[in-house]
Amino acid sequence: MLGSLHHSSSSSDTDNNNNNNDAARNSTSAAAAAGIATAAQAPARDLVLACADLLHRGDLPAARRAAGVLLSAGPPRSEADAADRLVYHFARALALRVDAKAAAAVGRVAAPALALAPRPASSGAYLAFNQIAPFLRFAHLTANQAILDAVEGARRVHILDLDAAHGVQWPPLLQAIAERADPAIGPPEVRITGAGADRDTLLRTGSRLRAFARSIHLPFHFTPLLLSCASTHHVSGASSTGAATTASGAATTLELHPDETLAVNCVMFLHKLGGQDELAAFFKWVKAMAPAVLTIAEREPTGGGFDRIDELPRRVAVAMDHYSAVFEALEATVPPGSRERLAVEQEVLGREIEAALAPSGGRWWRGLERWAAAARAAGFTARPLSAFAVSQARLLLRLHYPSEGYLVQEARGACFLGWQTRPLLSVSSWQ
């Protein structure tokens, strides 16, 4: 059974108005800085947490030295220990934050640069991640089955994918829709609105999906919806008549048709939203469109979720707990020396870690209970996943990721994927 392991952070809350606590904090910072020279003898995880603590306290030189100790050996080789590879990526993410904060302090860059938005992974690394680890395939397969169940019998289907990326989720669903169509009336018409911030990626995704749909004789349309960032308040609005388009061919408003059955898909999207007010506004926005189903897949923290983790040391500890399980899973299931694994860790997981530790990364670790409460407050109710959806998820693991470490569990109206005792991902559907 998947459980929640509780981990303590390396630092505690401080009262900025208490002089004694200020003195203790300064003493701790000085002691930590003085110990950097011999830090290589300390456990690497402890040094990562010490670096985060120094950065949180504003001691940028000491934080940079601590990160430098961890980075001194250079990028890890593919045969390096999983813990060493994990530490490298956390140290690099912290070093980026230190450098950005130091540059802003001397006025070399504007404050928005502190967002540290990582570049999206290349299509090759993204597809490799989809092959060597079950997380994306589990999310896509389970969400697709929920959508397939919800749109059964519809003649016009509209899927709004709020983080379309490379579109790898949709060919299996399009194939399933085409195969189960009544031969007497033919398959339904399917339209996907794929949202994202990268115009070129969306256009390439649309071209691939259109070509696939033609190959299976499925009536299909794809509309790229260009967002200035991954947040719904940058969408101009929803239109029932048509979509405004830019010269690049990407739409800037959402087009809705009353004769379509709508499914809204949020795979790895909710953590990109801001505070609770923005999360609540998002669910109200989706609810107003009256979708037949809303599918959600998100990372799960160990030890329970958090509305927001502003204290960097605590956030680093939570993120390390999560990604240590991910790295351990890859270590156990992917052959040693795998170049694909190294590319995935550098381009996908490494950039996720950078984003999780960035100033806006405190919202990553809400967990099912917190965002589900916001969904219910907006009028959504859980739509239980079918037994077939859950059995498909278990079959996926047995056939493609045959390790006893991966576990699937149904709980709290969702389907969880975990490694050993740690839940890592949840998928649920709502109506």
Residue 193's Cα: distance from chain center in Å?
20
* Residue 307 phi, psi (nearest 5): -60, -45
Report the pLDDT value the prediction gives residue 377, as an integer from 0 to 100.
96
pLDDT tens profile 371-426 = 999 999 999 999 999 999 999 999 998 888 877 899 999 988 899 999 998 999 99
Q: Pull the structure tokens for residue 401.
A: 């990721």
pTM reported for the whole predicted model = 0.83
Report the pLDDT value the prediction gives residue 30, as an integer from 0 to 100.
44
Nearest partner of 138 among 348, 431, 420, 423, judged by Cα:
423
Report the pLDDT value the prediction gives residue 244, as an integer from 0 to 100.
42
Report the pLDDT value the prediction gives residue 9, as an integer from 0 to 100.
34
pLDDT tens profile 127-160 = 889 889 999 999 999 999 999 999 999 999 999 9
Nearest partner of 296 among 152, 140, 126, 120, judged by Cα:
140
Nearest partner of 85 among 351, 312, 350, 420, judged by Cα:
350
Report the pLDDT value the prediction gives residue 103, as an integer from 0 to 100.
83
H/E element, 91: helix 82-105
Alpha carbons 113 and 102: distance in angstroms, whole number: 11
- How many CB atoms neighbour CB 355 within 10 A? 18
- How many CB atoms neighbour CB 18 within 10 A? 11
DSSP per-residue string spanning 159-226: EEETT-TT-TTHHHHHHHHHHTS-TTT-PPEEEEEEEES-HHHHHHHHHHHHHHHHHTT--EEEEEEE
3-state secondary structure of 324: helix
pLDDT tens profile 106-115 = 665 444 433 4
Alpha helices by DSSP H, 301-366: 312-333, 339-344, 350-357
Mean pLDDT, consecutive 10-residue stretches, the chain (431 aa), reads 38 39 43 45 83 94 93 78 91 93 69 49 83 94 97 96 93 96 94 93 95 97 80 45 44 86 96 86 96 96 73 92 93 85 91 90 82 95 93 90 87 92 94 96
Nearest partner of 392 among 163, 153, 154, 148, judged by Cα:
148
